[in-house]
């Protein structure tokens, strides 16, 4: 299957493994997976294609313990080295000193500033030098992701290629793959969570709720993005 990375409107129905095989062949070694450690489906698929994959993650300073446990299990299971990126210390200290520990709940602007310092800036550093990056985003996660495609041009990060192999998968498919291959996953899913970010901004949801209802639950649904995928 020939995929066109220069076409951000690509709307094919390629299987995730096909997309990953093409991407790793086309862009290695200048490609990496951004892992949030909700699950390890993509890591499993990628290491089956080639073992020398690059995986990075953003430690905001407020991640739940279950996320670190999933990451540690993945590192052992797949024999990978995870590249951790952290917020700049001075930015975090200034934010907390001037606006307080929970300023992100005071307004949308304050929450976006917190995300900018703790997530977006470290992500910008993580993507430097890459020609492409891989995410675990899916269309069924949120209204703001309904137009997601498997291959996009990431203008916000210098026009590099952004690859979303699971764009057309559902949570059910992710769970079935995880169970079939006995993969590590974030144990908060066993407690009613469906989308996991910082511990202070994430909570369990009720059956039937929007998957991201537990993220920044005090905000309107259309605002529930941190800035990494705008």
Can you read off the two tokens belonging to residue 39? 């699950």
226 part of the active site:
yes
Residues whose CB is less than 8 angstroms from the CB of residue 208 and which lie 6 or more positions away in sequence, other chains included? none
Cα 8 from Cα 124, distance rounded (Å): 20
Question: Where do the H-state alpha helices sit in 28-144?
Answer: 41-49, 65-78, 89-99, 108-115, 121-127
Q: Pick the catalytic residue: 70, 114, 201, 226?
A: 226
CB 110 within 8 Å of CB 141 = no
- Which residue matches tokens 């511990």? 199
DSSP tag of 195: S
- Which residue matches tokens 């995929």? 3
Secondary structure class of 50 (helix, strand, coil): coil
CB 58 within 8 Å of CB 85 = yes
Cα 175 from Cα 195, distance rounded (Å): 13
Cα 91 from Cα 94, distance rounded (Å): 5
* Residues forming the active site: 226
């Amino acid at each position: 299957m020939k995929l066109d990375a220069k076409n951000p409107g690509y709307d094919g129905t390629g299987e995730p493994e096909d997309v990953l095989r093409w991407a790793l062949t086309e862009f290695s070694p200048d490609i990496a997976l951004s892992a949030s450690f909700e699950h390890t489906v993509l890591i499993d698929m990628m290491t089956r294609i080639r073992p020398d994959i690059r995986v990075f993650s953003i430690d905001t300073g407020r991640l739940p313990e279950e996320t670190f446990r999933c990451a540690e299990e993945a590192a052992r299971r797949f024999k990978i080295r995870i590249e951790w990126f952290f917020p700049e210390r001075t930015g975090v200290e200034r934010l907390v000193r001037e606006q307080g520990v929970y300023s992100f709940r005071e307004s949308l602007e304050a929450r976006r500033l917190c995300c900018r310092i703790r997530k977006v800036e470290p992500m910008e550093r993580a993507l430097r030098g890459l020609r492409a990056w891989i995410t675990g985003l899916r269309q069924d996660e949120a209204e703001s992701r309904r137009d997601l495609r498997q291959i996009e041009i990431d203008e916000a990060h210098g026009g590099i290629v952004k690859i979303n192999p699971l764009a057309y998968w559902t949570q059910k498919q992710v769970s079935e793959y995880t169970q079939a291959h006995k993969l590590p996953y974030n144990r908060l899913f066993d407690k009613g969570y469906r989308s996991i970010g910082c511990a202070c901004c994430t909570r369990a949801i009720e059956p039937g709720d929007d998957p991201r209802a537990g993220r920044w639950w005090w905000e309107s649904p259309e605002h529930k993005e941190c800035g990494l995928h705008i």
